[in-house]
Amino acid sequence: MNIKLIVGLGNPTAEYEHTRHNAGFWFIDELAWQWKAQLKSEKKFHGDIARVAQPQGDVWLLKPDTYMNLSGKAVAALVQFYKIQPEEILVVHDELDIPCGQIRYKLGGGNGGHNGLKDIQAKLGTPNFYRLRLGIGHPGDRNLVVGFVLSKPPASERQLIDNAIAKSLQAMPDIMAGDLEKTVRHLHSK
């Protein structure tokens, strides 16, 4: 199956724009720029979307304008309207359990307490969608997690995250071709 929907997770409004939790939005912005796609607000799909013609067919880009814990609302609306299967979805998100700047790519699995993933799984009724996990590191104490993900990373960490996004964009042809093995080999290497 080919990817037909790429969702970047984050929180809307300028207040959250530069916070770690918006790494998925940063990815979508870069991908849209690279693919020369114009994201437009679409109330029906609860987010900013773009339709991009690719060799294997149309691909939708989505940045939900709901807050993180309601991300599934936007995903479900677009998926139901365009009859997209869970295995045709790639969700790009920040990941606490991966060191800052590292990347992991997988199909399915748990949500690791990530509220955006939790809501998407609940709305789709399955965890079987692809995830591009952008490492942001962990503050070391679970009581500090909320403040950590909702704060702006220092310039050195932002550079690591931006480098991870650039590396992920290089892997997009393999991701779009459905070459899981090649994608994992590329993204999981140092």
Q: Domain residues of the chain, as ranges? A: 5-188
Tell me: the pLDDT tens digits for 107-131? 999 988 899 999 999 999 999 999 9
For the record, the structure tokens of 146 come out as 């909320």
Report CA-CA distances (Å) from 16 to 72, 79, 95, 174: 19, 26, 16, 31
Residue 130 among known ligand-binding residues: no
Residue with tokens 């690591």: 160
Structure pTM? 0.96
Residue 187 CA to residue 190 CA, distance in Å, equals 8
pLDDT score at 56: 85
Annotated active-site residue in 18, 21, 46, 186: 21
Q: pLDDT > 90: what percent of the chain?
A: 91
| Model confidence at 1: pLDDT above 80 | no
Does 67 appear as a known binding residue?
yes
CA distances from 149 to 86, 94, 124, 136 (A): 26, 8, 25, 8
Q: Is 93 a catalytic residue?
A: no
Q: Decide if pLDDT at 179 tops 80.
A: yes
Q: Is 115 marked within a binding site?
A: yes
CATH class of the structural domain 5-188: alpha beta
